[in-house]
């Protein structure tokens, strides 16, 4: 059985085949907005897998930088959770919104705080991430850092 064209797209991303991905998108440009069975967009999957070449192909093909997956998370949020700083820098420079609120009420900054990543937090704050946003549990990014025992990061994220 031949895999569907959508399956081929997601397989190219998983396999790090930016050239094959580019070819698929040239022939089928609508694939840039496809979804896998879990609701991942191609860009969300590429960035979650730290596949910067695929992310660049997808953005060049018109991928929505701020599209959300089945859980309401953006490519930037997944990258912040994983700590993929090169991908995060690229997404920010490409225009990703650092203040989108996920399905759980959190932002990319919340994800950075949950995994105690001061470098990612600094990138987000430098790009205009709000320190005041409270997630669905009423917690700010600084609150999440405190819960992780990351007192230096909590201080870095405390609103003035």
Residue 153 and residue 109 in contact, taking contact as beta carbons nearer than 8 Å: no
Q: State mean pLDDT over 81-100.
A: 96
Check residue 104 and give its pLDDT. Answer: 81
Token readout for 87 is 């991908």
| Mean pLDDT on 17-33 | 95
Q: How confident is the model at residue 103 (pLDDT cuts 50, 70, 90)?
A: confident
Residues 42 and 9: beta-carbon distance below 8 Å? yes
Does the reported pTM lie above 0.85? yes
CA–CA–CA angle 112, 117, 118 (5° rounding): 105
% residues pLDDT > 70 (the chain) = 98
3-state secondary structure of 149: coil
* Mean predicted confidence (pLDDT) in 47-55: 96
How high is the pLDDT of residue 44?
Answer: 96
Instruction: Report the chain's mean pLDDT, rounded to a whole number.
Output: 93
User: How far apart are the C-alpha atoms of 136 and 138, rounded to whole Å?
Assistant: 5
The two three-digit tokens of residue 147, written as one number: 């819960």
For residue 2, is pLDDT > 70?
A: no
List phi, psi (to 5°) of 147: -60, -30
Q: For residues 11-38, give the mean pLDDT.
A: 95
User: For the chain, what percent of residues have pLDDT higher than 90?
Assistant: 89
- Supply the pLDDT for residue 120: 96
Tell me if 97 sits within 8 A of 65, measured CB to CB: yes
What value does the mean pLDDT take over residues 52-57?
A: 97
Tell me the per-residue pLDDT of 115-159, one tens digit each, with 9 for 90 and over.
999 999 999 999 999 999 999 999 999 999 999 899 999 999 987
| pLDDT score of 159 | 72
Answer whether residue 1 shows pLDDT above 50. no
């Amino acid at each position: 059985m031949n895999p569907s064209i959508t399956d081929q797209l997601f397989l190219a991303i998983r396999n790090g085949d930016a050239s094959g991905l580019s070819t698929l998108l040239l022939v089928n440009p609508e694939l840039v907005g496809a979804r896998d069975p879990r609701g991942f967009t191609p860009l969300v999957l590429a960035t979650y897998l730290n596949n910067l070449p695929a992310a660049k192909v997808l953005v060049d093909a018109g991928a929505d930088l701020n599209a959300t997956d089945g859980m309401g998370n953006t490519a930037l949020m997944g990258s912040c959770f994983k700590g993929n700083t090169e991908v995060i820098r690229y997404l920010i420079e490409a225009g990703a919104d650092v203040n989108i609120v996920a399905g759980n009420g959190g932002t990319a900054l919340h994800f950075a705080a949950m995994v105690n990543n001061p470098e990612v937090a600094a990138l987000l704050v430098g790009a205009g991430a709000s320190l005041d946003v409270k997630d669905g549990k009423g917690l700010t990014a600084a609150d999440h850092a405190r819960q992780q025992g990351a007192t230096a990061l909590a201080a870095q994220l405390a609103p003035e």
